[in-house]
Amino acid sequence: MNLWKIAYRNVSRQKRRSNLLALAIAFGVMMIILVNSLTQGLIKTTEKNFESALGGHIYLTGEVLLDSGKVANQIANPEVLDAVIPQFSDSIAESQKRSTITGNFIFRSKSTTGILYGVHWDQEQSLVDSLEILEGSLDRIREKGTIVLPQETAKDLGVELNEEILISLTTVTGQANVGEFTIVAITKDTLGLGFSTAYADIGYINELVGLAPDEYQSYNLVLKDINQINSISKEIEDAIVLQGSTLKPKPDESESLMSQGGMAGAMFGSDENEEVWSGTRFNVGNLNDFMDMVAQIVAILNGIALGVFFIMLLITMVGLMNTFRMIMIERTREIGTMRAIGMQKKDISKLFLLEGLILALRGVVFGIAAELVVATIIKMIRFADGSPFALILDQGHVAVPVVFSNMVMITFIIVVITLLAVWSPARKAARLQPADALRA
């Protein structure tokens, strides 16, 4: 006797009841898969945006204690990193040396705050490839005093291509200075964190901040395997200490880097209560430091979604138990007839379990289909340039990746929960005596 055919027929007989149960399961499946996809897309997109804007996965910076007691953000002992970094060449895909200005961008009577990275254009092909040029070109970027300006900054200043802007800044020794730049290209913003990121040749930036042409303030590393970020960071710290250099004390674990003066402050800021040291005091930061806040948000979202999912599963489980108890009562005579013509107890139990399995799989299929439709609609929405959500957007769109492992896991959970819910009514139905069932 084909139990699958009988089970499918029984489920189809009560279409309204079966569809309501399947829809309840489908809604829970859709929500949990959608939220998981959104959070995973958020993490991947944010990592990609930070990696692009900050120039890598691991960021090595240095601080020098001046005679005046002030702290200069510079790497005065580059020979230390020259000895350390080659030890990890097998794990490093790309490296860049950068200097940084955080200051006021000024055009006529308007001004705005921004970050200007000084880069070696010949060594940062990945940066060149990632910049989305809206106006102008990168043909002149190696000329002294040229700048690549983000669209939002250009809009705030009311400046156009080939016009000149001023940037007021502070040198590494704490002196005020002003640089003059000609805009050769306008790009899409890379981040929406309250700072706009511009780029210029490192030689002119070093001149403005008081560094030698061959010096730099940060050494950024792009790893071949992003999963090695924490382990490589720790090994680099150990290697720097073995070279006889000092490491900057880590911030309190309760404080994320993003809460300590913003992104620029996190990479280049210093404590006012400094201990005395000599030479360069190195700081090894990495992408995960900046992802702490995102990880906390993702954990909260996943926790909420998981809570809602399990509440819905509990409600659905109770509904399934009650439904199959009603089915057992409604089909008592039918069960007696099947037992009378030779069906075994285990077959009755299997029949009920198969009906539950069909309902579960139907709900999962509906839920996955609904999630794919909703995800497609979400991915079609484009946010305006300069949106405050730019950090979590992939070229203006929300990333909702299809994660098959999540679908498989949710399907397994739903099937197990459904079979557990149906198990008790199935056992009771199997224990019915044929004579008693036929007299019911």
H or E segment and range at residue 183: strand 176-187
**pLDDT band at residue 258 under the 50/70/90 scheme:** very low
Span 107-113, mean pLDDT? 92
What is the predicted pLDDT for the residue at 428?
Answer: 85
Q: Which one is predicted more confidently, 192 or 33?
A: 33
- pLDDT score of 306 more than 80: no
Q: Which one is predicted more confidently, 146 or 317?
A: 146
What is the predicted pLDDT for the residue at 290?
Answer: 74
What is the predicted pLDDT for the residue at 439?
Answer: 67
- Measured between alpha carbons, how far is 274 from 236 in angstroms, rounded to an integer? 23
- Measured between alpha carbons, how far is 185 from 64 in angstroms, rounded to an integer? 34
Q: Which one is predicted more confidently, 330 or 100?
A: 100
* Residue that the structure tokens 């030479």 belong to: 279
What is the predicted pLDDT for the residue at 387?
Answer: 63
Span 55-59, mean pLDDT? 85
Directed axis angle between helix 15-54 and helix 3-13, to 10°? 100
Most confident range (mean pLDDT) of 242-256, 302-316, 365-379, 391-405 is 365-379
- Measured between alpha carbons, how far is 91 from 11 in angstroms, rounded to an integer? 57
User: What's the whole-number average pLDDT of the chain?
Assistant: 84
List the structure tokens of 415: 């099937």
Residue 427 CA, distance from chain mean position? 46
Span 282-299, mean pLDDT? 81
Span 369-397, mean pLDDT? 81
pTM of the shown model: 0.68
Span 355-359, mean pLDDT? 89
- pLDDT score of 260 more than 80: no
List C-alpha distances in Å: 195 to 102, 115, 310, 345. 9, 6, 40, 71
Give the HSE-up count for residue 135: Cα atoms under 13 Å, Cβ half-sphere.
Answer: 15
**pLDDT band at residue 252 under the 50/70/90 scheme:** low
**pLDDT band at residue 257 under the 50/70/90 scheme:** very low
What is the predicted pLDDT for the residue at 12?
Answer: 80
Out of 106-120, 139-153, 333-347, pick the least confident. Answer: 333-347
**pLDDT band at residue 264 under the 50/70/90 scheme:** very low
Cβ(167)–Cβ(103) under 8 Å? yes
What is the predicted pLDDT for the residue at 272?
Answer: 46
Q: Which one is predicted more confidently, 386 or 236?
A: 236
- In the chain, the amino acid numbered 29 is V
- pLDDT score of 106 more than 90: yes
What is the predicted pLDDT for the residue at 389?
Answer: 67
Out of 41-55, 278-292, 393-407, pick the least confident. Answer: 41-55
Q: Which one is predicted more confidently, 271 or 40?
A: 40
What is the predicted pLDDT for the residue at 376?
Answer: 92
**pLDDT band at residue 1 under the 50/70/90 scheme:** low
Directed axis angle between helix 345-380 and helix 3-13, to 10°? 60
Span 361-379, mean pLDDT? 93
- Measured between alpha carbons, how far is 187 from 191 in angstroms, rounded to an integer? 12
Q: What is the tens place of the pLDDT at every residue in 394-430?
A: 777 888 888 888 899 889 988 998 888 888 888 888 7
Out of 72-86, 192-206, 233-247, 380-394, pick the least confident. Answer: 380-394
List the structure tokens of 350: 């299997």
- pLDDT score of 324 more than 60: yes
What is the predicted pLDDT for the residue at 332?
Answer: 82
Give the HSE-up count for residue 198: Cα atoms under 13 Å, Cβ half-sphere.
Answer: 33
- pLDDT score of 191 more than 70: no
- pLDDT score of 284 more than 90: yes
